[in-house]
Chains A and B, each alone.
Chain A
Amino acid sequence: MNRLPRWLAHHLAAVRVVVVLTLTVGLLYPLAMTGVAQAVFGHRADGSPVDKDGKPVGSELIGQSFTGTDGTPIRRYFQSRPSAAGDGYDPGSTAASNLGSESVVDVLPTPGEPDSGKLSLLTQVCERSKAVGEFEGVSGARPYCTSDGVGAVLGVFREQGLTGRATRVVSLNQACPATPFLPVYEGVTVGCAQPGTDYGKALIVPVRGDAPALPVVPADAVTASGSGLDPNISPAYAALQAPRVARERGLSLDTVTELIKANTDGRALGFLGEPGVNVLTLNLALDRES
């Protein structure tokens, strides 16, 4: 060993150390942990499965969609948050939208190819808010949203590019022949947007509108989560849905509110994180009730 050049000796030692580490911390450690975990924390180690009528229906930690096969929400069930994981709540492709706070201009689909566009985060939020509002029978209005549920964003062409008089104004997210959410801006008639046209030279001006700063539809109802598998909704969103679910199931609002409370995880230790209502266990409890 000592007769070998030092660099070669190092490499031989390196190979052996890698092998030893692979066997110990690579195999022995996780397998031993699995053994202990299975023996001591069986249910949790198995991923906290939940049953309905003796059949597994998911995990209490993993959110699900409560929609019909066509994607429409089922009225008897509390609805989960929007999800960016696959087609929604797909543990095989967990993801967030990864869109930033200034994602406000849509790429409009070319006519005849509905999949060719790309919605901005703002329009996604507006669309969801409008849909939830209609579903729950409340106002879905939000700042920076048009009444037809897209981002209220103008593209303003000015005389000197960035400054000067407005010469042409386009409502960027409203494809023709839509009626622009604002008829006139700085004296110029607002036009609808032609799909495929490059409005890159225009200044982007989001228009706040007169919606209240605290919309009726809560924030978590219009945003996707970090994992796409968020099992919780906020107590506010649960409260918004409670009357509809009570009505559909012929239960009193008090019963539903009690069940919401029973399926709410408060802040851990009283101050860590945020309270959340577990949608899956809540819906299962409702199914047991009625």
Chain B
Amino acid sequence: MYGWLQALFVLALLVALHVPVGDYMARTLDGGRHLAIERRLYRICGVDPDREQDWRHYVLALLAFSVVSIAALFALLRLQGSLPWSLGHPGMPWELALHTAVSFTTNTSWQNYAGESTTGHLAVMAGLGVQGFASAAVGMCVGLALIRGLVRRSGTEIGNFWVDLVRSVFRVLLPLAVVFGLLLICMGVQQNLDGAHAVNTVAGGTQTLIGGPVGSWEPVKLMTGDGGGFFNTSSAHPFENPSSLSNALEILIMLIVPTAFIRTFGRMAGNLRLGWTLLIVVGILFGLLLAAGNLAQSAQTGTVAQAVGAQMEGTETRFGIPGSTLFGVSATASADGALNSSYDSFSSLGGGVLLAAMMLGEIAPGGTGSGLYGLIMIVLIAVFLGGLMVGRTPEFMGKRIGFSEMRYVVLYSLVSPALVLTFTGIAVGLPAGVSSMGNVGAHGLTEVLYAFTSSVNSNGSAMAGLNGNTMFYNLTMIVAMFVGRYLPIVFVLALAGRLVRQQPVAVTAGTLRTQGVSFVVLATGGALIVALLNFLPALSLGPLADGLLG
């Protein structure tokens, strides 16, 4: 009962907050004047903020920024030992440094290392933290570009990448980070520059407490879809998430920007009703996932759960099982990938729900920016199918969705299943892939499937029993994360480039309306069918087999 009350409370707060935040984002991100300080910044960077880009140059700028980011982060992690604030930690080995650099730049933040024993304060603040902001902003840029493609009525430009990037970071993410960071620190998240210091415990032993700038890291980790913990156990660690109140706030922080982006879309499209319609679709999908997760976690089907009397392994007392399930579903449905409990120790079906949330393409509400463009892709599929079914011209917001547009949509939606299933197949076929499993049998397969689903979909949450810090997993995951992030982005921007050139067609009686119950059913069904068709066989062999046969 308390669990549902908690979920309703957080979600009601989210819906209430998404309106002002979304409106603010629409006002401040698109058009309008540059601030004087921003103009200076553009001059320093050698960027002309008033010159917009067509989709090719937008892609080029985005990829250039991402490659430079990876290189910079790689260098920082490699050289950590010779830089200040390393807390005595040496540089990472090259494959781990490259994995981490790609992981944070692609907004995945899968960590093949434990923060407390690997990264110093400089690497966290000036390396991982910067990419937390930047990678989220990149997702927002792509979302903005696609919206412009749909909204604009002529021309070839879809915006200026540098302006979108700078505004996303400084006008949206940074102010929110300051507010949320101070709130979390007020609730007990530590914020200092101490290193490790030993104390003598009450029982006469010693304990080494580890300080650090956790409070400034936490909102970045949560809000930007980043998800990587300051410490190994992320938001299960009491210094990252000290109380049930901070837990509720952290769930809200994970969901706020992607959800507000739906409102931003409605605002920019001049059609708030469309925003609400899409929010309902997202709400239904999230509600289904949460209900399934709660049922699976409270049913106690597993042998150990029955022996214990609750699905308590890997769960913190202060959050309880419902608080962990809500956090888990929010982290996987939002592309954030943080954790406040051990997902590996979730019930088989509960873990399957987290997998399904990612396999849905992270659209409920998905990552910062990436959630919205993923959602629009699903809507385009739904509109296209709906149009074919009733013999109407498929169109969305006045733009025809013909063969060449659908080509990009289909390519987009094939990237994730193709990569996930190929890499999982390779991993379970090779001794190097199998030997890393932390559990045996079907649960071991689930761990591997989870790892690649998380990597390709830029989620970053883990079933942490799998030992990912091997040459095999470092290298395969680098490819999975890089391709899984940027190839879909290229397809989205190409689509935006096509759409922006289209003259909108007049709305007629033959136009499929993008509102009302039938559209909601169509879009929700479209999302579920696409995900199920792609992943049901893999889910059957992993979590379903584990839960039903185990």
Contacts and interface: CB of A to CB of B under 8 A. Distances in A.
Interface of A: 1, 6-7, 9-18, 20-22, 24-27, 29-31, 33-34, 36-38, 41, 44-49, 52, 55-59, 61-69, 74, 77, 81, 89-105, 121-122, 125-126, 142-145, 151, 206, 208, 213-215, 218-220, 222-234, 265, 267-269, 271-274, 276, 280, 283-284, 287
A13 B245 contact: no
Contact of B193 (A34, A48, A226): A34
Nearest to B442: A102
Nearest to A44: B188
Given A11-B68, A30-B129, A97-B342, A58 B316 contact: no
A26 B64 contact: no
Contacts of A63: 238
Given A101-B550, A142-B308, A284-B202, A64 B207 contact: yes
Contact of B323 (A65, A227, A273): A273
Given A91-B208, A125-B307, A26 B126 contact: yes
Interface in B181-220: 181-182, 185-194, 196, 199-205, 207-211, 213, 215-217
A63 B196 CA distance: 16
A24 to B, nearest CB: 8
**A16, A66, A101, A220 — which one has the most chain B CB atoms within 10 A of its CB?**
A101
18 contacts: A10-B57, A13-B64, A25-B129, A33-B178, A92-B117, A94-B116, A94-B233, A96-B314, A96-B342, A97-B345, A99-B304, A100-B546, A102-B302, A104-B303, A225-B236, A226-B342, A234-B317, A280-B202
Contacts of A49: 209
B44 interface: yes
A17 B69 CA distance: 9
A16 B213 contact: no
Interface stretch (B2-10, B269-277, B370-378): B2-10
Given A37-B191, A96-B233, A100-B439, A227 B200 contact: no
A229 B238 contact: yes
Contacts of A67: 203, 205
Closest 9 CB pairs of A and B: A273-B244, A101-B302, A226-B236, A274-B320, A96-B342, A98-B465, A102-B550, A268-B245, A26-B126
Contact of B201 (A27, A58, A81, A206): A58
B463 interface: yes
Contacts of B187: 44
Contact of A44 (B65, B169, B174, B185): B185
B323 A12 contact: no
Given A48-B188, A220-B312, A229-B238, A58 B209 contact: yes
Nearest to A144: B307
B53 to A, nearest CB: 9
Nearest to A55: B200
A203 B347 CA distance: 21
Interface string B216-250: 11000000000000011100111100111101100
A99 B345 contact: yes
Given A13-B47, A44-B185, A269-B245, A227 B439 contact: no
Given A25-B130, A58-B207, A59-B209, 19 more contacts: A14-B64, A16-B45, A26-B126, A29-B129, A33-B185, A45-B215, A66-B202, A67-B205, A99-B304, A100-B304, A104-B304, A121-B304, A219-B309, A223-B308, A230-B317, A269-B245, A271-B2, A271-B6, A273-B245
A220 B305 CA distance: 12
B133 A25 contact: yes
Interface string B36-78: 0000010011110000000001001100110111001000000
Given A77-B203, A93-B117, A228 B344 contact: no
Given A18-B65, A27-B126, A144-B303, A96 B236 contact: yes
B447 to A, nearest CB: 9
A37 B317 CA distance: 27
Nearest to B314: A96
Nearest to A287: B202
B317 A74 contact: no
A27 B125 contact: yes
B310 interface: yes
B498 interface: no
Nearest to B303: A206
Given A91-B210, A93-B117, A268-B248, A226 B306 contact: no
B402 interface: no
A89 B207 contact: yes
Contacts of B67: 11, 14
Contacts of A104: 303-304
B287 interface: no
B317 A7 contact: no
B288 interface: no
Contacts of A30: 125, 129, 213, 216-217
B311 A65 contact: no
B191 A94 contact: no
A282 B266 CA distance: 52
A1 B319 CA distance: 55
**A12, A69, A92, A218 — which one has the most chain B CB atoms within 10 A of its CB?**
A92
B439 A103 contact: yes
A126 B307 contact: yes
**A7, A61, A280 — which one has the most chain B CB atoms within 10 A of its CB?**
A61
Contacts of B550: 101-102
**A90, A102, A234, A287 — which one has the most chain B CB atoms within 10 A of its CB?**
A102
Given A6-B57, A21-B133, A121-B304, A98 B231 contact: no
Interface in B498-548: 546
**A96, A126, A228, A269 — which one has the most chain B CB atoms within 10 A of its CB?**
A96
A208 B465 CA distance: 27
A107 to B, nearest CB: 10
B341 A226 contact: yes
A65 B203 contact: yes
Given A52-B202, A65-B201, A223-B312, A208 B306 contact: yes
A270 B312 CA distance: 22
A12 B46 contact: yes
A28 to B, nearest CB: 10
Given A265-B243, A271-B6, A225 B199 contact: no
Contact of A62 (B181, B209, B443): B209
Nearest to A107: B440
**B162, B182, B238 — which one has the most chain A CB atoms within 10 A of its CB?**
B238
A30 B236 CA distance: 22
A22 to B, nearest CB: 5
Given A27-B125, A38-B192, A144-B303, A96 B317 contact: no
Interface string B155-172: 000000010011001100
Interface string B268-305: 00000000000000000000000000000000011111
A94 B237 CA distance: 8
A271 B46 contact: no
Contacts of A27: 125-126
Interface in B337-357: 339-342, 344-345, 347-348, 351
Contacts of A74: 203
